[in-house]
């Protein structure tokens, strides 16, 4: 297929990356300046390539058959990747609309995201494999399931966590290679695709694994992918892509030091260290580390207010966890300490805030206790720790109440 320069997916990446940029930097002037472009992308262009019969973005409509994407993959029809990315972009755009005080846009984009997610789950999910099909050929789904669409569908909340874990288990079984996970599970779309690894796309699978609590498998895959590149010539860079037998995917034309392979950095800072902004410019933030079988992590995430958010956490052999956070004075955040079941005691700076039931400053949610904290300045730490509940917990319950 002869591709033209326009890329079908890149406007959606611009939306997603704009959200990241504003949330990490607090640059609200950027949001104000380019908000009109956001509306044009989501309310004019992508609706123009949406099939009204299915509600799905469909490559081939409105003269887009020759459009490319990040890897110029020759796929057509209601491609899962494009639609999952559309859902993710709509959800991120809705958050930006709220910040811009355009509640009508936010509601419309949230509603459309839910509608596209529902249609995608009903039409593109392969129940036999337990994963999403990729795209179609002459109206029929090809026998292929892609890493990009399945991973981003998880990150965009197209599926629940139980189904997401099944999708990731399937992909581990069929796509694992000694040098990472291939970006397709078969060669139905193009020869050799089942042996190619893109670190760029692997980032989304790894993030999805952390998101659903499968951090151990994320660490294992990271070691295969980045460990492989670190053991090959030149030994100090990360590649654009890996081909069959673990060789550079375009031989001598492969970029051996590529920005697309840097997903390891946000994986470590945003998931393992656990630091993320929850409002623009880290106005509010969260620290929710995925321990993933690791014993400790330590690092600093830069913030616009200077000094960054400094986090140290360590895990004891009995599952006890201690998290230390240093953040700008007066800033507000939530520390999500992993506890597994409810039968743990959680302390904030030595004071019990949780002992099996929700309190004024702490609450249990999906295997974590979420503790509301306030930054004391980068020279003063906030300490959240968890330990097993004693045999007689009543005294602790009275303290935490």
Rounded CA Rg of the chain: 22
Sign of torsion over alpha carbons 10, 12, 18, 19? negative
* Residue 228 pLDDT exceeds 90: yes
Least-confidence region, from 59-63, 83-87, 239-243, 328-332: 328-332
* Residue 48 pLDDT exceeds 90: yes
Tell which residue, 8, 139, 21, has the closest CA to residue 85.
Answer: 8
CATH 2.60.420.10 domain span(s) along the chain: 279-387
Least-confidence region, from 74-83, 294-303, 312-321: 312-321
Distance CA 179, CA 195 (A): 10
Asked if CATH classification 3.50.50.60 holds for the domain at 279-387, the reply, yes or no, is no
- Position 342 confidence tier, pLDDT thresholds 50, 70, 90: confident
Tell which residue, 355, 323, 356, 357, has the closest CA to residue 338.
Answer: 323
> Hey, how many other C-beta atoms are within 10 angstroms of the C-beta on 13?
15
Sign of torsion over alpha carbons 370, 166, 219, 208? negative
- Position 116 confidence tier, pLDDT thresholds 50, 70, 90: very high
- Position 163 confidence tier, pLDDT thresholds 50, 70, 90: very high
* Residue 397 pLDDT exceeds 50: no
Angle at 29 between CA 23 and CA 35, to 5 degrees: 85
pLDDT in tens, 165-193: 999 999 999 999 999 999 999 999 999 99
253 burial class (0-12, 13-18, 19+ CB within 10 angstroms)?
Answer: exposed
- Residue 365 pairs in a beta bridge with 368
Least-confidence region, from 128-142, 337-351, 382-396: 382-396
* Residue 380 pLDDT exceeds 50: yes
The CATH classification of domain 9-269, taken from the options 3.40.50.720, 3.40.50.150, 1.50.10.10, 1.10.150.120: 1.50.10.10
Average pLDDT over residues 285-292: 96
Distance CA 181, CA 201 (A): 10
Q: Cβ distance 336 to 368 under 8 Å? A: yes
Distances in whole angstroms, Cα of residue 58 to Cα of each of 38, 120, 142: 20, 11, 15
CATH 1.50.10.10 domain span(s) along the chain: 9-269
Tell which residue, 340, 332, 334, 328, has the closest CA to residue 300.
Answer: 328
- DSSP H helices in 240-366: 264-266
The pTM score is 0.94
Q: Cβ distance 201 to 147 under 8 Å? A: yes
User: What kind and span of H or E run contains 370?
Assistant: strand 368-374
Strands 332-338 and 368-374: what pairing?
A: antiparallel
Mean pLDDT of the chain: 94
Cα-Cα end-to-end distance for the chain? 66
């Amino acid at each position: 297929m002869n591709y033209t320069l326009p890329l079908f997916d890149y406007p959606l990446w611009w939306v997603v990356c704009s959200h990241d940029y504003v949330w990490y930097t607090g640059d609200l002037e950027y949001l104000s300046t380019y908000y009109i472009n956001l509306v044009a992308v989501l309310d004019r262009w992508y609706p123009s390539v949406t099939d009204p019969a299915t509600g799905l973005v469909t490559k081939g409509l409105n003269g887009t058959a020759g459009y490319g994407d990040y890897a110029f993959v020759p796929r057509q029809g209601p491609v899962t990747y494009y639609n999952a990315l559309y859902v993710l972009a709509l959800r991120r755009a809705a958050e930006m609309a709220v910040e811009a005080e355009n509640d009508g846009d936010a509601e419309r984009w949230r509603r459309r995201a839910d509608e596209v997610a529902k249609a995608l789950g009903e039409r593109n999910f392969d129940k036999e494999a337990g994963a999403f099909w990729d795209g179609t050929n002459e109206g029929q789904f090809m026998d292929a399931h892609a890493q990009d669409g399945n991973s981003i569908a998880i990150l965009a909340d197209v599926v629940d966590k139980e189904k997401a874990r099944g999708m990731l288990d399937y992909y581990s079984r069929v796509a694992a290679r000694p040098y990472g996970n291939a970006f397709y599970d078969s060669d139905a779309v193009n020869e050799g695709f089942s042996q190619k690894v893109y670190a760029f796309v692997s980032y989304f699978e790894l993030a999805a694994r952390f998101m659903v609590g499968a951090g151990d498998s994320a660490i294992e895959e990271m070691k295969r992918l980045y460990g492989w590149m670190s053991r090959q010539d030149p030994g100090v860079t990360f590649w654009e892509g890996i081909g069959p037998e673990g060789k550079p995917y375009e031989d001598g034309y492969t970029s051996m030091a590529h920005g697309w392979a840097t997903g390891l950095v946000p994986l470590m800072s945003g998931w393992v260290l656990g630091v993320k902004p929850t409002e623009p410019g880290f106005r509010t933030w969260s620290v929710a580390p995925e321990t993933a079988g690791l014993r400790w992590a330590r690092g600093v995430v830069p913030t616009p207010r200077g000094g960054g958010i400094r986090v140290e956490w360590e895990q004891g052999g009995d599952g006890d966890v201690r998290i230390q956070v240093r953040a700008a004075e007066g800033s507000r955040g939530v520390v999500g300490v992993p506890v597994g079941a409810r039968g743990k005691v959680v302390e904030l700076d030595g004071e019990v805030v949780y002992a099996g039931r929700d309190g004024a400053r702490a609450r249990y949610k999906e295997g974590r206790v979420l503790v509301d904290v306030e930054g004391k300045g980068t020279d003063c730490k906030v300490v959240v720790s968890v330990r097993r509940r004693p045999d007689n917990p009543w005294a602790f319950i009275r303290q935490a109440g």
